[in-house]
A and B are shown apart, each in its own frame.
Chain A
Amino acid sequence: MTVPRFATPNVRRATPRTLMLLLLTALVAVSLVSLLIGAGSVGPGRALALLSGAQDSEARFIVWELRAPRTLIGIVVGMALGVAGALLQAVARNPLAEPGLLGVSAGAAFAVALALVLGASAATLRISVAQLGALVGCVCVLSVARFRGVGNDPVRLVLAGAAFSGLLASLTSLILLYDQRAADEIRFWVIGSLAGRRLDDLLAVLPSMLVASVMVALIARPLAALALGERVASGLGHHPNLIRWLVIACVALLVGAATAIAGPIAFVGLVVPFVARAFAGPDIRRTLWFCLPIGPLIVLAADIISRVVVAPSELPLGVLTALCGAPVLIAVVRARRLPML
């Protein structure tokens, strides 16, 4: 079994820019495909005709009102989850630290379910609540990681995360059983999907996404220094603890926002940085750049497949990402030497 090696770029030095261009082209292509293909009656032919100027009100509605927002949301969610995964892995120094696996998404989902039971209903409230839940989940898991050396063993952290997210998922389903109204409101949200999301949802999370991107831009350099070790980072004038807290806040903002739109989606934060590192090498700054096209690529591809395989109905996106992500998890664990970040 060949596993892409970490931290040793097989790619020649000069190629990242070309690679980036290739990835961006692929992203544009996949976005187009996402506009063209769907579970319903409007096939690629009709959609293509519409895009080249034909008058077709049904196709217009489906392509521009349903598929276009969905594609945009997929792009944003993919970026957010990919970048959040890369950040979390860098700060936990653990290639398996993934927001979904470690229970950050489960924390967000639990917080939303709890808020709904306690009487909240407004869709706008959902975002801040999800971000708060993600923050709590993040802090919990990372404090477990620092506790008695659990975090020194990457794999042990995953196990703790699995236990934690399993617990939160059970509590969420307990709440849903208890409160029928809440269950009806979030039943389709809690499994993770891009279907039926409106553009308003996207606009509502945009401010926090912007804040998060500014923060990422600011902490990318200190984070790269932190990869050399805490002492080196302090010697270079950075504050390791401050960086860690900023990263945690960032991850919570990104994962909370993504979960608020699309529901908990696991494994994207594992696969995207995994691929990005294979392209970009050990530098976290370059990895973060590569996460930006790769995240949307993977999410959109999974979303397209989820529309097609069980047509005319649709598959939850989370199912597909788990099917693609679990083999990557196994491959990382099976590598002879566990890659350390």
Chain B
Amino acid sequence: MPFSPEDQFRADGNNNVPPPQGYWRFAWRSGNGANSLLFEQRAVVVNLGLFGALLLASVIYLSLGSVKVAPTAVLQALFGNADIMASFVVQELRLPRLAAAASTGAAFALAGILMQTLARNRLATPGIIGIDNGATAFAVASIVGLGVSIAPPAMALAGATTAAVLTFGLAAGNGTQGYRFIVAGIGVGAVFGAITQLMLARVAIDTANAAYPWTVGSLSARPSGALQLLMLGLVLGLATAMALARSLTLLRFKDATASGLGVNVKRRRLEVLLLSVALTGLAVAVAGPVGMVGLIGPEIARSLASSRSVPVLAATLAGALVMVLADLAGRTLLAPIEIPVGIVTAVVGGPWLLWILMRPQRSFT
């Protein structure tokens, strides 16, 4: 159905004109005139579905483990009237870890979809182009206490920024589309990975062993304070990304098209890049490099949502869901041995990445 701004004007004040196909419109009057909001039906359904799945997965996450708590008991424990054992296990042990899993997954996936849109390259997730490794190297430097004693989140942010500057600087002139950019990023990541190894080799063996699970991506060793910072950053970042959603949609086109439609391309790019790098750094400070989530989350969101816009919220929810499920699998599959969540996501994400590469090429983003 044809739809133009004039239609929306005429729709002011009365609901007689139907919204464009596939959309719901909410119109209301306020003091200074008529307002309306359009919601894409498919996006609403997808987001609600993902949110429901995330809630369900969370309840299962809280109930399974070395001590099993029945799902009904989980709900009771959450709202404060269960026996002391169940509420201790649920509230003190599993809930913080669930929060860490969901928020790191959400942050990685949000950073991933932002970076992909920015680079117009669906393989350009922070994990693949070396930003995770940069953040890890710097954070390990602060954990093993080399010289500076700045908190891991700040160091991870600095590392993510350094790696991003390097990768984008090396790509300057060649553009970010295509595979060369990605391989330059892999090179940057390899350098930072080697630096991490170097630092781990320099310190005492027990310090290195303590830092090891974290360098492959794990939720069992969370530096204190990092999670609160991440949650704050995630809320702010998600709000900013939602506010930018309209220009993100336009950034998928050529620069000329986007600026013709009123986007200040350079400035918006920089904002999106900063947002993505900051989210990656904060998330790495909590869980280490679990970069594959940044690839899987957006892929799931894109396959569910329509291609009318960039599915920012759906990618975030899908990332949280993937991370919660991956950590659940890591905790329970080989119990009592705990598989670091980074290994679970790599085992799932590796074949997925290969499949993307071997599929006949279509347009990116």
- A: residues with CB less than 8 A from B are 96, 144, 147-148, 150, 153, 155-156, 158-160, 162-164, 166-167, 169-171, 173-174, 177-178, 191, 266-267, 310, 313-316, 318-320, 322-323, 325-327, 329-330, 333-334, 338
Contact = CB atoms under 8 A, between A and B. Distances in A.
Contacts, number: 115
A310 B208 CA distance: 15
B202 A313 contact: yes
A156 B179 contact: yes
Contacts of B187: 326-327, 329-330, 333
A159 B347 contact: no
Contact of B170 (A156, A267, A320, A330): A330
Nearest to B345: A170
Nearest to B334: A178
Given A163-B354, A326-B190, A177 B183 contact: no
Contact of B179 (A159, A163, A170): A159
> Mostly helix, strand, loop or mixed at chain B's interface?
helix
Contacts of B123: 159
B352 to A, nearest CB: 9
Interface in B343-360: 343, 346-347, 350-351, 353-354, 357-358, 360
A319 B194 contact: yes
Interface residues of B, number: 37
Contacts of B360: 148
Contacts of A314: 201
B339 interface: yes
A171 B346 CA distance: 9
Given A163-B350, A313-B201, A319-B198, A148 B358 contact: yes
Q: Which of A169, A170, A323, A327 has the largest number of chain B CB atoms within 10 A? A: A170
A186 to B, nearest CB: 16
B180 interface: yes
Contacts of B59: none
A213 B354 CA distance: 33
A114 B342 CA distance: 20
B66 interface: no
A310 B202 contact: yes
A160 B347 contact: no
Contacts of A318: 197
A87 B72 CA distance: 62
Q: Majority SS of interface residues in chain A?
A: helix
Nearest to B190: A326
B334 A177 contact: yes
Given A313-B201, A329-B183, 15 more contacts: A155-B179, A156-B179, A160-B358, A164-B354, A170-B343, A170-B347, A173-B216, A178-B334, A314-B201, A323-B191, A323-B194, A326-B190, A333-B183, A334-B174, A334-B180
11 contacts: A144-B358, A156-B179, A159-B183, A160-B357, A160-B358, A163-B353, A173-B343, A178-B334, A319-B197, A329-B186, A330-B183
Nearest to A314: B201
A172 to B, nearest CB: 10
A325 B182 CA distance: 16
B223 interface: no
B158 interface: no
Given A150-B357, A319-B201, A167 B351 contact: yes
Nearest to A160: B357
B263 interface: no
Instruction: Enumerate the 8 nearest inter-chain pairs by beta-carbon distance, A residue then B residue, closest first.
Output: A167-B350, A170-B346, A155-B179, A322-B194, A330-B187, A163-B353, A326-B190, A326-B187
Contact of A174 (B190, B201, B202, B339): B339
A326 B192 CA distance: 10
A156 B82 CA distance: 55
Instruction: Tell me which of A156, A158, A267, A315 has the highest count of chain B C-beta atoms within 10 A of its own C-beta.
Output: A156
B198 A158 contact: no
B17 to A, nearest CB: 48
A171 B350 CA distance: 10
A31 to B, nearest CB: 25
B151 to A, nearest CB: 26
Contacts of A322: 190-191, 193-194
A150 B354 CA distance: 11
Given A174-B339, A322-B194, A329-B190, A156 B357 contact: yes
